[in-house]
Amino acid sequence: MSKKTIFHTFQEIDYKACWDYQEELFNQILTEKRQDKTDIINHLIFCQHPHVYTLGKSGSEDNMLINYIQLQAKKASFYKINRGGDITYHGPGQLVGYPILNLTAFNLGIKEYIYNLEESIILSLQHYNIQSTRLDGATGVWLDIHNPKKTRKICAIGVRTSHWVSMHGFAFNINTDLDYFNYINPCGFTDKTVTSLEKELGKKLDFDEVSEIVKSNLQKVFNFEFINYES
C-alpha cells in the first residue's frame, strides 16, 4: 500500500473552510478504500487559523469560560467538532497539522498513530534543546511532568478515525498568544498550564523554520513519500 503523501500548506485559513477541506479528502480516501484501491494518496495539511475554540465530541461546554458576546469581543469563533478530546484553542503563531492518512498503509493502530504524532513533536523540540515527553492519561506533548506545579502542554493532539482513516491532528504552540488559553480549561484540565516555544526560549521563532523541522520529523517518523506540494 502507498505512503505517497501530498503536502498542503496555508499561511492562514478559516477553521470551517479547512475542516470542510479535510472532510473532502477524508471521504475521498474512505471511498477509495471501499473500492479496494492500493495506490491511495495520503495528505498532510499545515496551516494557521484565525482565533478559534473547538470542542471535541467528548468535551464539556463548561470548559469554555466566556460567553458568546465575550467570544466576539476577542474576535474568536467557536465550533463543536467531530474529533476526540475536549476544548482547545487555535490561532496565529500556532502550527496546526492535519494528517489525512490511510493508516492501514502505515500499519498503524490509533494508539500507535497518536504516539507517532507526539514523537514527531518531541524530536522537533529536541532541535531547540527542549526536553519534552508524554503524560499518562493525556494526549499531547508536555514539559516537566515530574513537577506537577510546573507541568505544561506545548502541543495538543485530537484526532478522528474511521475505517482506519485519520483526520484532525495536532496544534503546536510556536509564537502563540497564550492569553487566549485563559478563557478555557485547555483540554479539560484545570490544574495544568499551556506554553509555547516562544515562551520557553524567550524569543520569537521563525515560524517557517520550525514548520520545516516538524515536517522533516513527521517524514522521518511516518516514512512519508512526499510526491508534490500545493499551496
pLDDT tens-digit map of 126-152: 999 999 999 998 899 999 999 989 999
Domains identified in the chain, total number: 1
Provide Rg for the chain, Cα atoms: 17
| pLDDT score at 231 | 44
Q: What is the pLDDT of residue 64?
A: 75
pLDDT in tens, 6-28: 999 999 999 999 999 999 999 99
Mean pLDDT score of the chain? 91
Is pLDDT at 225 greater than 60 in this prediction?
Answer: yes
pLDDT tier, 187 (very low <50, low <70, confident <90, very high otherwise) = low
Please give the helix or strand (H or E) that residue 200 lies within, else none: helix 197-201
Residue 218 belongs to what H/E stretch?
helix 207-222
Sequence-ordered list of residues with C-beta below 8 angstroms from that of 208, at least 6 positions apart, any chain: none
The CATH number of whichever domain residue 60 belongs to comes to: 3.30.930.10
Q: Is the pLDDT of residue 202 over 60?
A: yes
Angle between helices 110-126 and 207-222 (to 10 degrees): 140
Question: Which residues constitute the domain of residue 204?
Answer: 4-230
Lowest mean pLDDT among 37-51, 102-116, 182-196, 217-231: 182-196
- More confident position, 154 or 38: 154
- pLDDT on residue 229: 56
For 67-85, write each residue's pLDDT tens digit.
Answer: 667 777 778 888 888 887 7
For residue 192, what is its C-alpha cell? 495544568
Candidates 18, 47, 155, 187; catalytic one: 187
Lowest mean pLDDT segment, chosen from 44-48, 52-56, 71-75, 218-222: 71-75
- Which one-letter amino acid corresponds to residue 117? L
Whether 170 has a pLDDT exceeding 90, the answer reads: yes
Q: What is the pTM of this model?
A: 0.92
Among this protein's residues, is 187 annotated catalytic? yes
pLDDT tens by residue, 49-65: 999 998 887 667 776 77
- Length of the chain equals 231
C-alpha cell at 210: 520550525
